[in-house]
A and B are shown apart, each in its own frame.
Chain A
Amino acid sequence: MFSLLYRMVRDRALAEDLAQETFIKVLNGIKSYRPEFKFSSWIFKIANNAAIDHLRRKSIDTLSLDGAPSAETPDQVRATSLQLGDRAESPLDEVQNRELGTAIERAIARLRPEYRSCILLRHVEGYSYEEIADTLELPLGTVKTYIHRARNELRGYLDDRRD
């Protein structure tokens, strides 16, 4: 669950805060747990909601290195691009860059949050399509579409890297 949060927000300290918030909600709200629902799915659902809420609150639709999705002109893209190396790296930054700096991690970061959740649950956590649909409360067809699109986008990003 921490891995999902970390890859969703790409900030170790923030991911820990969200994981903490998730566990506190789970443990304090255990009476509202419905046994017909897989327990781990319930936890992932709360964690994913926490991450999505955070990203929406912060208006970080995708944590893109290439500027905000809403940027339409080159100036807007430059202004909203993540500038790497323009400040001293803290030890935590170094850890994060080491952990999330690979091509595949950077490609995942460029996906829409909804795609990111689905692809991580499918291939990193090993959930079935049906479990993802239950966990994220999405129609099965939507989950399949998100995962196929996410993989297509990842292939595109990784092919760009190889060219």
Chain B
Amino acid sequence: MTDVSMHLNTDEIELWAQGLLPAARAMHLADCSLCRVEAERERKVILELVQLPQFAPGAGFADRVMAQVKIPTPSGDFTA
């Protein structure tokens, strides 16, 4: 059993930032301004990271890749 007065460790802060920390441990944040500030800063960074966009390569990328892939033929040879 974990004492509610114990400071959150880095793993717990990450869980809290993702909304996954068990309520019993999250209660600590109500009384500990040190952990609250730390957790809030961590949450902001994680939020910025998870909101980053995905990028895609330019048009024709798949064709350029497939042009260089060796495709096995029924005879066991490879064709480009």
Contacts and interface: CB of A to CB of B under 8 A. Distances in A.
Q: Is the interface of A mostly helix, strand, loop or mixed?
A: helix
Given A2-B55, A16-B57, A99-B55, A158 B68 contact: no
Q: Is the interface of B mostly helix, strand, loop or mixed?
A: helix
Nearest to B56: A2
A13 B53 CA distance: 18
Nearest to A162: B44
B52 A20 contact: no
Interface residues on A, range: 20 to 34
B52 A124 contact: yes
Nearest to B71: A27
B55 A23 contact: no
A4 B66 CA distance: 21
A1 to B, nearest CB: 10
Contacts of A3: 52-55
Interface string B40-57: 011011101110111111
B46 A19 contact: no
B70 A158 contact: no
Contacts of A123: 46, 49-50, 52
Interface in A1-47: 2-3, 6, 12, 15-16, 19-20, 23-24, 27-28
B56 A24 contact: no
Interface of B: 10-11, 41-42, 44-46, 48-50, 52-58, 61, 64-65, 68-70
28 contacts: A2-B57, A12-B58, A15-B57, A16-B57, A20-B61, A20-B64, A20-B68, A23-B69, A24-B65, A24-B68, A28-B70, A104-B48, A104-B49, A104-B52, A105-B52, A123-B46, A123-B50, A124-B50, A144-B10, A144-B11, A148-B10, A151-B42, A151-B45, A151-B46, A155-B41, A155-B42, A155-B44, A158-B48
Given A16-B58, A19-B61, 6 more contacts: A3-B55, A6-B55, A16-B61, A27-B69, A105-B52, A155-B45
